[in-house]
Structure 1
Amino acid sequence: MSGGGSDIAVLGAGMHPWGKWGHRFVRYGTVAARAALADAGLDWRQVDTVIGANTVRGGYPGQVAGATFARALGWQGARVASVYAACASGAQAIAAARDRILAGQADVVLVVGADAAPKGFFAPAGGERPDDPDWLRFRVLGATNPAYFGLFARRRMALHGETPEDFALVKVKNAAAGALNPYARYRTPVTAADVAASPVVADPLRLLDICATSDGGAALVLTGLDFARRHGAARPVRVRAVSTVTPVYPRTVLDLPDIATDSAVTVEPQAESGLPQDSFRPSIARAAYEEAGIGPEDLSLAEVYDLSTALELQWYEDIGLCPPGEAVKLLREGTTSLGGSVPVNPSGGLASFGEAVPAQAIAQVCELTWQLRGAAGGRQVAGARTGITANQGLFGHGSAVVAVR
């Protein structure tokens, strides 16, 4: 399916500011939910389904987030559901909401995600998981996420000649955008010198190259297009695609240039979209583009998962903004900055927010919604009409959402 036959409307978007507030996740989610309802012009009693994105750090209430938020807002008979998909939890909640709306099982769905994150590393949750490669990475190799980010940055340096100074420019760009976002945790512009002066965490990455952990919440009110029009939204922002595809293994094409040229290696042709064929992240974006009936050339903006500065550069290639190895060129030319032709992370990204895992994919769609409405204030992308989100999480979870207006 493609091209709009499965569109739903984003009638309302709301957030709780990111930070370290010291409260339980429920508070952040209910604040975001009430803001989204107010934005939609609807009363809580008009919601017939609540879908919560779970937090593994919130005990049993976090594992049944849909019911937890419904209770906090006031029992009124709404159906509830809860989903968990690591960093893609919010997008899977959006996908579940869309399914119910298009199946005629709901008119108004409230999607909510919130977290109260610990300081420092995210400790693996859920006990012993010897069949989970991410758990094994933590436990057997001692490779925390920053260590992984550092190795990934080194790989880009070896393959494409990027430098720590290039990575620092990503932080500078995102901090400038975040300074304009009232929901961001960090709202102070930084310079490349500030990044270089911050402590080394996982060489070559420094403290300001890596996102923090945060408290925060985000919510959306989703409806069918007919319902939206009946309630005065003649041209609502529409969710046109939600991709939650999993990886495909084994990889059959090696990407190191000196190996890939060996006659013993069969190199598959690139797709017409220009996206690489053998990687998880490009497949997430490709499925979204195919469902939406668009391509990278149609984008006005993108919100991507910048766990580290080097990872943002990888996303430029993975969502098809440029061929492999040319991401830093876009960055240096200002293409992905506010005022450029395809701003990436005009919200400020995780560099400005930090991680509040169940809320992140929802927050990305909130930003697309405000941008496509022309309501993003000083960070507004001129003439925004089409946007994509992208993220990647543990255990093969990832997502991409396409929104249009």
Structure 2
Amino acid sequence: MHPWGKWGRPFVEYGVTAAREALADAGLEWSDVDSVVGADTVRGGYPGYVAGSTFARALGWQGARVTSVYAACASGAQAVATARAQILSGMAETVLVVGADAAPKGFFRPAGGDRADDPDWQRFRILGATNPAYFALYARRRMALYGDTAEDFAHVKVKNAAAGTLNPYARYRKEVSPGDVAASPVVADPLRLLDICATSDGGAALVLSSLGFARRHGAARPVRVRAVSTVTPRYPNTLLDLPYLATDSAAAVPEPERGFRASIADAAYEEAGLGPGDMSLAEVYDLSTALELQWYEDLGFAAEGEGAALLRSGGTKLGGRLPVNTSGGLASFGEAVPAQAIAQVCELTWQLRGVAGERQVPGARAGISANQGLFGHGSSVIAVR
């Protein structure tokens, strides 16, 4: 990885740094790589839209197959899925996956300015709902349905900040108290500034290979990808005509028993042949503190409405029965959109290798990452040792 922060340099620099670090970790040269998959950043101009080629050029043209993918916050998982498919199909034995971003200050503006067909534009201009506004709606929903409190939300930040102090790649490496959260400015009631993640510069990279290649190159017990879930929502079109969410044919889709985020996890568990009880840790998308509590339930770690109780029990902190966001999460990193789903898998890998230092989960055997991208992009990876 390249450390997260506000460095003011081109995204390519962060991605190349991470790529070279990943290659060194794998004991490979760039010339050994068969394919490179870049996670796109639409704020990086044309080079960001063709990130795979951009990183290949920066590393030095060597003839590798190249792919670029965009799925908003799920771009990194889509890149991993693409690389994995190339390996399983026999198209490549080694694939370099890279994502990096140089995020603008403040809230993201829809790429290319105002566009009526952009769901971000619709949300901002029609509903007046910037990202913190809809994070706050989730928080209010949890308060109304389950009795969650602002203090519960604050303790998510406290937990993740404590883990972030132990991560040299994190942008924020300072412990936070509940009082610090309560004293920070209200952004969208009930969420305060320290309940919401920042926007950051950063980069992350992985080398994926076939199992045979890994073993031939000295990895007797490599970390293995057991599942990648990139599912889309099920959204019955029975009451409303919403052309950007459902087509006419969707009227036949039955009401789903579980929501979209839960379906992302369900698909990953099914493919891996594992369940929530098999996980040693999880990296989830804490865009806001309340959203982390929702992930506990969607991943099956707690029953519906019991996420805050699991947090209060200490079960999701370092040393708990199922630590969540041992990296420090977005609370400690901020968003570097194309890199973050890749960064989650970096953390799972270090934990499963047993090299995570002071934030190490003892005996970690399996871990799951989870987030979602704009416009119905699922994102979850299960890795095992």
- The question of a shared fold, defined as TM-score above 0.5 by the shorter chain, is answered with yes
The aligned amino acid for 2:45 is G
Query: d(CA) in 2 for partners of 1:60 and 1:134?
Result: 21
Give the 5 Å matches for 1:211-290.
211-250=197-236, 277-290=257-270
Structure 1 residues 249-302: Cα deviation after superposition (integer angstroms, max 9, x where no partner): 0289xxxxxxxxxxxxxxx99xxxxxx823100000000000000000101000
Corresponding residue of 1:12: none
Query: d(CA) in 2 for partners of 1:306 and 1:248?
Result: 23
Query: d(CA) in 1 for partners of 2:125 and 2:45?
Result: 22
Equivalent of 1:60 in 46, 50, 74? 46
Query: d(CA) in 2 for partners of 1:303 and 1:277?
Result: 24
Corresponding residue of 2:284: 304
Equivalent of 2:343 in 363, 366, 372? 363
- 1:128 to partner: Cα distance: 4.5
The aligned amino acid for 1:284 is I
Aligned partners of 1:110 and 1:219 also within 8 Å? yes
Structure 1 residues 340-398: Cα deviation after superposition (integer angstroms, max 9, x where no partner): 01000000000000000000000000000000000000000111000000001211112
Within the alignment, does 1:158 sit opposite 2:137 as a pair?
no
Query: d(CA) in 1 for partners of 2:382 and 2:354?
Result: 17
Within the alignment, does 1:313 sit opposite 2:299 as a pair?
no
Please report the TM-score for the alignment, with normalisation by the length of structure 2.
0.94
Corresponding residue of 2:192: 206
- 1:183 to partner: Cα distance: 0.2
Aligned partners of 1:210 and 1:351 also within 8 Å? yes
Please report the TM-score for the alignment, with normalisation by the length of structure 1.
0.90
The aligned amino acid for 2:293 is L
Query: d(CA) in 1 for partners of 2:91 and 2:334?
Result: 35
Within the alignment, does 1:346 sit opposite 2:332 as a pair?
no
Structure 1 residues 160-217: Cα deviation after superposition (integer angstroms, max 9, x where no partner): 0011001000000000000000000000000000000101000000000000000000
Query: d(CA) in 2 for partners of 1:73 and 1:404?
Result: 30
Query: d(CA) in 1 for partners of 2:236 and 2:103?
Result: 34
Aligned partners of 2:323 and 2:361 also within 8 Å? yes
Corresponding residue of 1:20: 6
The aligned amino acid for 1:72 is A
Unaligned segments of structure 2, at least 5 residues: 239-253
Query: d(CA) in 2 for partners of 1:197 and 1:393?
Result: 31
Query: d(CA) in 2 for partners of 1:130 and 1:116?
Result: 25
The aligned amino acid for 2:32 is Q
Q: Give % identity.
A: 79
Number of residues of Structure 1 aligned to a counterpart in Structure 2:
371
Corresponding residue of 1:119: 105
Unaligned segments of structure 1, at least 5 residues: 1-14, 253-267, 270-275
Query: d(CA) in 1 for partners of 2:104 and 2:120?
Result: 19
Corresponding residue of 1:167: 153
Distance change in 2, residues 1:251/1:184 (3 Å) = farther
SS at match of 1:35: helix
The aligned amino acid for 1:390 is A
Give the 5 Å matches for 1:74-113.
74-113=60-99
Aligned partners of 2:75 and 2:373 also within 8 Å? no
The aligned amino acid for 1:63 is Y
Corresponding residue of 1:260: none
The aligned amino acid for 2:231 is V
Q: Give structure 1 regions of 4+ aligned residues with deviation exceeding 6 angstroms.
A: none
Query: d(CA) in 2 for partners of 1:238 and 1:329?
Result: 32
Query: d(CA) in 2 for partners of 1:282 and 1:155?
Result: 17
- 1:79 to partner: Cα distance: 1.0
Within the alignment, does 1:179 sit opposite 2:159 as a pair?
no
Aligned partners of 1:87 and 1:398 also within 8 Å? no
Equivalent of 1:329 in 309, 319, 322? 309
SS at match of 2:73: coil
Query: d(CA) in 1 for partners of 2:108 and 2:175?
Result: 26
The aligned amino acid for 1:359 is A
Query: d(CA) in 2 for partners of 1:335 and 1:344?
Result: 9
Aligned partners of 1:296 and 1:319 also within 8 Å? yes
Within the alignment, does 1:394 sit opposite 2:380 as a pair?
no
Corresponding residue of 1:375: 355
Aligned partners of 1:242 and 1:400 also within 8 Å? yes
- 1:141 to partner: Cα distance: 1.6
